[in-house]
Amino acid sequence: MKFFLDTAIVDEIRQVHQLGLLSGVTTNPSLVAKSGEVFDEVLQEILTFVDGSVSAEVISRDAEGMIKEGERYAAFGKNVTIKVPMTLEGLKAVHHFSQKGISTNVTLVFSTNQALMAARAGATYVSPFIGRLDDISFDGTQLIKEIADLFRMHQIPTEIIAASIRHPMHITQAALSGAHIATLPYKVMEQMVKHPLTDQGIEKFEADWKKIKQV
Binding site for ligand E4P (CB under 6 A): 6, 26, 28, 107, 127, 129, 131-132, 163-164, 183
Q: Which is nearer to ligand E4P, 92 or 132 (CB)?
A: 132
Looking at the Cβ atoms of 64 and 190, the one nearer to ligand E4P is 190
d(CA 96, CA 89): 11
53 sits in the region (left: phi over 0; alpha: psi -120 to 50; else beta) called beta
Q: How far is the CB of 195 from ligand E4P (least distance, A)?
A: 24
**DSSP run (H or E) holding 126:** strand 125-128
Nearest to 83 by CA among 99, 105, 65, 61: 105
Give the C-alpha separation, 147 to 154, whole Å. 11
Nearer to ligand E4P, 52 or 131 (CB): 131
Instruction: Work out how close the CB of 30 gets to ligand E4P at its nearest, in angstroms, rounded to a whole number.
Output: 6
Positive/negative CA dihedral, 87, 73, 56, 37:
negative
- Least Å distance, CB 46 to ligand E4P, is 14
Annotated active-site residue in 83, 92, 145, 194: 83
Could you tell me the smallest distance in angstroms from the CB atom of residue 76 to ligand E4P? 18
Q: Give φ, ψ of 24 to 5 degrees.
A: 175, 180
Least CB distance from residue 104 to ligand E4P, whole Å?
12
Q: 10 Å Cβ neighbour count for 83?
A: 26
Between helix 186-193 and helix 10-19 the angle, nearest 10°, is 30
- Identify which of residues 71 and 134 has a Cβ nearer to ligand E4P in the complex: 134
Distance CA 88, CA 35 (A): 30
Amino acid at 169: M
* Whether 83 is catalytic: yes
Residue closer to ligand E4P (CB basis): 130 or 199 = 130
- In this structure, the chain runs to a length of 215
The residues assigned a catalytic role are: 83
